[in-house]
Structures are given as C-alpha cells and as structure tokens.
Amino acid sequence: MRDCYALRKIVDVSLLYKKDENILKIIRKLVSGDYLHQNFAEDFIPKLIERLAYNNSKHSVKKAIGLVPESKTHLLFEIREVLENRNKKPVQQPDGQDVTTRHRMINDLHDKASKMLNKETSYNERELNKIIKNMFELNDYTTPLKIAREIVSSKKIISVLVFTTLINCFIKKNRLKSAQEVSRMVLSNGAEPDAQTWYVIVSLFVNAKNVSESFRLLNRMRRKGHSPDVRIYSIIMNGCIDVGDFDRAKRIHELMIEDGIAMDDNSRRVVVRMYLKDGDLNKAFEFVLDATKGSDAYIALINYCFELGCMDKIRDIIQMMNRNKVQPGIHVYNLLLGEYSRANLHVEANEVFQLLRECGLTIDTDAWSHELSNLVNIGHVDKALAIITDVNKNDPRSSTPLFITTIDECIKTNNIDKAQMAYRILLNSEVEFDRSELMALTKLQINKK
C-alpha cells in the first residue's frame, strides 16, 4: 500500500465497482498518517472525495468529510472548494459541527494573514489575496475588514491587488459602506490605484449617489497625472445627471474637452442625455450636429430621445425643425409613430399624427396604419372605422392593409363586434386580395373565433 501508483489503481477499481467502503478505508488511513507522506495525503483526499461525488455517492461523501479532523481546516476548505467548483452541491458537515467548523476555518485564515503581516519582511500579496477570497466564500465580511485595517496599521506598503479584491468582493456582497471604507484606506495611505481600481472606486461612490466625492476623486486623478479614461468621465457625468447636478455634469464635459478625451458612443449618449434632461434642446442639437450633419442631426436627436427615455422632448424637436424651416419627411413621422406605438404611448402617437396632418405631407399607408392602431388602443374604434370606410370609398385597393391592421387591433383589444363589422365592410368592397392578404385575413378569422 506504500506505492502511490498501486494506491491509485485500487481507487480506480473500487470506484468502478462502486466499492465506497474501500475508498473510506483509504481516506481513514491517509488522515491518520498510517502510510504515505503527508503532502501526498492532503493532495489526494480532496480528489478522492470529488470522485465519490461524481459517482453520486452522497452518503459516502458525507462520511468521507466526517473522517477529516476539524483541526485540518485548510483541508476541509479545499474539499469544499473542489466540490463547489465541480458544480456539486456543497456537502454539509456532520450535525452540530457546521457553525463550529466555519468559525475555526475563519480563525485559521485570520491567523495565517496576521502572521504574514507581523513579519518584518513584506507580505506575499498573492497568498493574502487568496486568503481574503476564501473568507468571502465563507460569508465572512468582518475579518477581511480587520485585515485591511491591520495592513494600514502595520505601515506596510498597501497592495493594490489585495485592496482591489477587497473592494470588489464587498461590492458583490452589497456591502457598500465597507467597500467605501477600504477605498478611503487606499486613497489616504499613499497607494496609487491602477486604471481598473480607479474605475471601481469611482463607480462605488457614483452608485452611492455621492457625486461630490466622485468629482473630488476625478480631480485628484488629474492632479496626480493619472489621465482618467472616457469610462470614468462618463460614469461620473451620468451620476451627476441622476441626482440633478447639471452644473457639475457640464463641468465634467468641459474637462473632457480640455483633456482631449476622445468620445465613444456611450459618452456621446451621456452628454445628449445631460442636455435633454436639463431642458436645453438647442445645446443638445448643437452637440449632435457636430457628429451628424444637416437634417439627419434632428433624426439622430429623436433617436437619442427614444434610447434615453426622453420621449417628452420629441414634440419640441419637431417644433424646432419647423421653426428652422426644416421639413420632417414622412419617414421621420413614421419613425415617431412606430416608436410611440411600440412603447404603448398611443395618445402621444395620435398627437404626432395630428402634426403630420397639419404640415401638409401626403400621408402614406404606414402612417395611416399606425394612426388606426393608436385610435383603437385609445378607445376611438368608431373613428378608426370611419377613416377606413372613407379610404375604402376613394381607393379600395390601398384600404385592404388598413382594414387588416384595424381588425387585428380590434381583436387584441377585445372589440370583437367592431372587428366583425370591419371584416364585413372589407368583404363587401369586392377587392381582390393577394396571397399575403388572404393569409392574414384567415389568421385573423381563426384568432377571432
């Protein structure tokens, strides 16, 4: 049994024939140190238990973990980590030992960290980083904060790696106050975060609605020559907009220009949002006009309104176009009508359609379809039927898709009687239907029933 190769063969055969009792005997001997050197035993035991788990031997897995002494906390932790990494359900310790074992594992990890920090030489940051991650996996949020304070009080060099891990782990666990405390430790003790750590720290304060602190951090970065990237400018500007601090948001935009920061799509969206939320349509348009020339700038601005949830500004944009003698084409109105309909803003869509009628453009089938859909959805079904009946008298052929739209919307809004009325009017018009129209009407008839 002293030969490692022979032992592995015994394990393979035992697992193949589901002889769990043999595996448990081997684990018992490995734990007691009866044979094989200790390093091999501690490396081999987690693998054995993992293979038992693969065999769906839940009872044997529980027994095997029970064989490991509670004093071997590092081994217990490694077993748990192996099982979780293999997407296996974490195995419970024997009854009455769960809480005690967890506390012992935490204390053991804390002792290891303290010994590292008490050495006169610098600590191993990667090893300490692993210890901190293990603590968070044990849902311990107090000890990692103690370790951070011990690092600061020990006057040792603050590891950006360790403190970034601390901040990220606290954020993931929704412990924002602890994350902020660790961030302040980093910044007040001479550590120089890297670009990603700066972004994490700034995001933390923005999400906590503390835009004044975020703005202060931005200025600190600029003073220290860190060159904040476009992401940091954008997230702070967005935070200022969220709390209604438009003066500070505009100042950040000015700093971006001063520092020569090249804007990406997201930062452009943030600047447009700032002007729209502040009610300054002219500034928003000027900004969009720099990137999009001519009348297309208006369409780009309208698209931004839909993206950013500022649809209340669209009517003002249309009026601005009229004042500037820029006639919106029918495609612009169809864009507006379609977006409003998709957002279920049928009253607003109806208002846009009235603007379309006032401007004197020829109304096409798409615009009429949107209008009929909106009328049905706001309860003006009779008005919709009157319109399609009128269109049918003048141009029966072009009225067919409008009838189909109206019938469909009547069915969706449970106006079955009105749907049948529209259907009868259409059939009596003696229009010849193409294949797609026949299929649509057949589908509507099935849905109606």
Return the exposure string of 341-363: e unless at least 16 CB atoms fall within 10 Å of the residue's CB, then b: beeebbebbbbbbebbeeeebee
Q: What percentage of residues in the chain have a pLDDT greater than 90? A: 6
Contact partners, residue 114, CB within 8 Å, separation at least 6: 147, 150
pLDDT value of residue 240: 92
Residue 90: the pLDDT is 43
What is the biggest distance separating any 2 CA atoms in the chain, rounded to whole angstroms? 101
What pLDDT does residue 93 have? 43
Q: pLDDT tens for residues 187-196?
A: 777 667 777 7
Once rounded to an integer, what is the mean pLDDT over residues 79-105? 59
d(CA 98, CA 392): 78
Band (62; pLDDT cuts 50, 70, 90): confident
pLDDT of residue 274: 92
Answer yes or no: is pLDDT of 282 > 60: yes
What the block records as the tokens of 171 is 């954020």
Is the predicted pLDDT of residue 124 greater than 60, yes or no?
yes
Q: Report whether 207 contacts 240 (CB < 8 A).
A: no
User: Residue 440 — pLDDT band, cuts 50, 70, 90?
Assistant: low
pTM for this model (two decimals): 0.56
Q: Tell me what pLDDT residue 237 has.
A: 93
Q: How would residue 10 be classed by pLDDT, with cut points 50, 70 and 90?
A: confident
Is 300 a residue whose pLDDT tops 60? yes
Band the pLDDT of 85: cuts 50, 70, 90.
Answer: low
User: Tokens in use for 334?
Assistant: 């169809």
Crossing angle of the two packed helices 246-258 and 265-277, in degrees rounded to 10: 140
> Residue 80: which residues within 8 A CB-CB, separation 6 or more?
90, 91
Cα dihedral across residues 305, 336, 331, 325: positive or negative: negative
Choice between 1 and 182, residue whose per-residue pLDDT is larger: 182
- Tens digit of each residue's pLDDT (9 = 90 or more) over 231-253: 999 999 999 999 999 999 999 99
First to last CA, the chain: 78
Given a cut of 60, whether residue 448 has pLDDT beyond it is no
Mean pLDDT for all residues in the chain:
77
More confident residue, 135 or 79: 135
Is the model's pLDDT at 309 over the cut of 60? yes
